[in-house]
């Protein structure tokens, strides 16, 4: 139990915490739920209420909360070494983890650059790609292609390659301009087409046109493989990612895959790129890397990218980038314990049954009057609520339908977060099939209550 009563904690929070992505005026008038414990797929508040964690501690949790084996690994590491530095030294856990990451990521990624959150992992990738072409004697290759609805984090470089106006618009004057390509948001196809089968993925043809019109200018393309997360859990049609890889190859553009949200099993495979059999030139990892325990991130690169940075000191080919907590041994020890659990729990082997269960349960939601689209990729799913299914007219933003559905879900013991009118389902991978029932049933009831009165 916490050291202070709920009201005291709420008061201190309202007085002193400035919450992320939160209208604080509203928050100050609310009675925040104070989470004090975690247990498997559940989180527990200071009053003893339990909620199924439908967002996996903001898309990070893999093996459940407070998993004994990870707790023990963390305790053992903290008794040996809490932090050192990768500036002039290495440490055992960082070295072992780098080797294992090189083994499990798509073949060809062999160099690991550590940082501590998803935004920096992407930003490192962008800077690497930019500097790479300078070393290759092609400094004119300096621009980036990114996608509409993309989200790569909140630091300025990551925001520059983002494409969500609501979050990023205000900062535009501070950002470097990018070349935006249409995301394959099939429910609201930017090319005005129907299903991917019917259109032959015209968005790929459009991407190629964009590459051709910027021939010789593009350093890299940044993409969230298979699922665009914060943009609304937009699931890409099969083959899109492979098509992007082919286009990057054809136009000699470095492909930066942001697997911050989808890495570590989320899509049913260890990495989303693996599902389409591709290797990006650069890959950003965070969130699931420590199964949701510690802030850690890694940017992986191929030998080709890395080799461009080798030279005599005076040649100024060094990658001048690094954060204080780079390669933190606590984070690395936890990441190693998580990888062990993937094996000992045979987690990936168990996923198809859960994925099918989720799929079957989601079928039930399609019947609800205001569910416009249900999309799923492995253990991530989204339900897009609309005012009118026939016209796909969205609910007005001010109606806050998504927020209200998630608020209602709490009364059914389920914690969810919306992205506008899209309800995201992103539970710990350790969730059981019975818990999937509970989660989707709670969501269905909540959607009914809010949208049907
Ligand atoms: N990339 C993707 C795809 C993400 O979903 C996120 C976070 N939601 C980030 C980058 C940024 O990660 P962080 O919040 O750890 O900076």
Asked if 228 and 150 count as a contact pair (C-beta separation under 8 A), the reply is yes
Residue 127 exposure: Cα atoms within 13 Å on the Cβ side: 18
Separation between Cα atoms, residue 336 and residue 344, nearest integer Å = 12
Check residue 105 and report its DSSP letter: S
* 33-63+346-452 placed in CATH 3.90.1150.10: yes
User: From the alpha carbon of 158, which atom of ligand 1 is closest?
Assistant: 10
Residue 1 alpha carbon to ligand 1 centre in Å: 31
CATH class as words, domain 72-344: alpha beta
Kindly give the distance from the C-alpha atom of residue 156 to the centroid of ligand 1, in angstroms, as a whole number.
13
β 254-258/218-223 pair status: parallel
Binding residues for substrate, as ranges, are 151, 287, 322, 417
Residue owning the nearest CA to atom 5 of ligand 1: 261
Kindly give, in sequence order, each residue whose CB lies less than 8 Å from that of residue 54, ignoring residues fewer than 6 positions away.
Answer: 409, 414, 415, 416, 417, 424, 425, 426, 427, 439, 443
Question: Hey, is 37 helix, strand or coil?
Answer: strand
Q: Is 256 helix (H, G, I), strand (E, B) or coil?
A: strand
Residue 323 · residue 121 · CB < 8 Å = no
Q: Which phi and psi angles does 80 have, rounded to 5°? A: -105, -50
The pLDDT of residue 453 is 77
Q: Give dist(CA 60, CA 34) in Å, integer.
A: 19
Q: Which atom of ligand 1 sits closest to the CA of residue 287?
A: 15
> Smallest Cα–Cα separation from 127: which of 321, 411, 408, 356?
321
Ranges of CATH 3.40.640.10 domains, the chain = 72-344
Q: What ipTM was assigned to the predicted interfaces of this complex?
A: 0.99
The SS3 assignment for 109 reads strand
Residues belonging to the binding site are 118-119, 151, 258, 287, 322-324, 417
Helix boundaries (H) for 263-399: 272-275, 303-307, 329-344, 347-366
Whose CA is closest to atom 1 on ligand 1? 152
Q: Which two tokens stand for residue 361?
A: 């349960």
Q: Are the C-beta atoms of residues 63 and 70 closer than 8 Å to each other? A: yes
Radius of gyration of the chain (CA): 22
Q: Are 145 and 242 in contact (CB under 8 A)?
A: no
How far apart (Å, rounded) are the C-alpha atoms in residues 18 and 16? 7
Average pLDDT along the chain, 453 residues, taken 10 residues at a time: 92 98 96 97 98 98 98 98 98 98 98 98 98 98 98 98 92 96 93 76 94 97 98 96 98 98 98 98 98 98 98 94 97 98 98 98 94 97 97 94 98 98 98 98 98 88
Residues making up the annotated binding site for pyridoxal 5'-phosphate are 118-119, 258, 323-324
State in Å: Cα 368 to ligand 1 middle. Answer: 31
Between the CA of 37 and the centroid of ligand 1 the distance, in Å, is: 24
Q: What is the reported pLDDT for 198? A: 72
User: What's the 380 CA to ligand 1 centre distance in angstroms?
Assistant: 15
Distance 271 CA to ligand 1 centre (A): 16
For CATH 3.90.1150.10, the residue range(s) in the chain are: 33-63+346-452
Note the pLDDT of residue 425: 98
Residues with CB under 6 A from ligand 1: 59, 117-119, 122, 151-153, 224, 229-230, 258, 260-261, 286
């Amino acid at each position: 139990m916490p050291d202070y009563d709920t009201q005291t904690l709420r008061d201190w929070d309202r007085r002193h915490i400035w919450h992320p992505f939160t209208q604080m005026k509203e928050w100050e008038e609310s009675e925040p739920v104070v989470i004090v414990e975690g247990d498997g797929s559940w989180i527990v508040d200071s009053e003893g209420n339990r909620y199924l964690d439908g967002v996996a501690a903001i898309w990070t949790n893999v093996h459940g909360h407070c998993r004994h084996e990870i707790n023990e690994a963390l305790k053992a590491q903290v008794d040996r070494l809490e932090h050192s530095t990768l500036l002039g030294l290495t440490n055992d856990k960082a070295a072992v983890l780098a080797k294992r990451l090189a083994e499990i990521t798509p073949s060809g990624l062999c160099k690991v650059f550590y940082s501590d959150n998803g935004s920096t992992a992407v930003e490192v990738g962008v800077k690497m790609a930019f500097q790479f072409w300078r070393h290759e004697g092609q400094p004119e290759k300096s621009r980036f292609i990114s996608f509409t609805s993309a989200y790569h984090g909140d630091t300025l470089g990551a925001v520059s390659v983002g494409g969500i106006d609501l979050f990023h618009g205000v900062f535009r004057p501070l950002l470097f301009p990018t070349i935006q390509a249409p995301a394959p948001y099939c429910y609201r196809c930017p090319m005005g087409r129907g299903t991917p089968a019917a259109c032959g993925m015209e968005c790929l043809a459009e991407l190629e046109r964009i590459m051709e019109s910027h021939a010789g200018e593009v350093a890299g393309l940044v993409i969230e493989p298979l699922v665009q997360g914060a943009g609304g859990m937009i699931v890409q049609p099969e083959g899109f990612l492979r098509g992007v890889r082919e286009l990057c190859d054809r136009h000699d553009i470095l492909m930066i895959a942001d697997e911050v949200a989808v890495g570590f099993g989320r899509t049913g495979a260890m990495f989303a790129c693996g599902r389409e059999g591709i290797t990006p030139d650069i890959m950003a990892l965070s969130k699931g890397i420590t199964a949701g325990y510690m802030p850690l991130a890694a940017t992986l690169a191929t030998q080709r990218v890395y080799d461009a940075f080798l030279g005599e000191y005076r040649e100024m080919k060094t990658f001048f980038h690094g954060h204080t907590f780079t390669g933190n041994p606590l984070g690395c020890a936890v990441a190693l314990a998580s990888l062990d659990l993937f094996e000992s729990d045979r987690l990936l082997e168990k996923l198809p049954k859960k994925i099918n269960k989720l799929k079957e349960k989601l079928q039930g939601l399609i019947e609800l009057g205001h569910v416009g689209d249900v999309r799923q990729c492995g253990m991530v799913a989204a339900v897009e609520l609309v005012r009118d299914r026939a016209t796909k007219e969205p609910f007005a933003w001010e109606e806050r339908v998504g927020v209200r559905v998630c608020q209602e879900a709490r009364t059914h013991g389920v914690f969810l977060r919306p992205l506008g009118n899209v309800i995201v389902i992103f539970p710990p991978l350790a969730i059981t099939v019975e818990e999937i029932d509970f989660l989707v049933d709670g969501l269905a009831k909540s959607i009914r209550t809010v949208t049907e009165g």
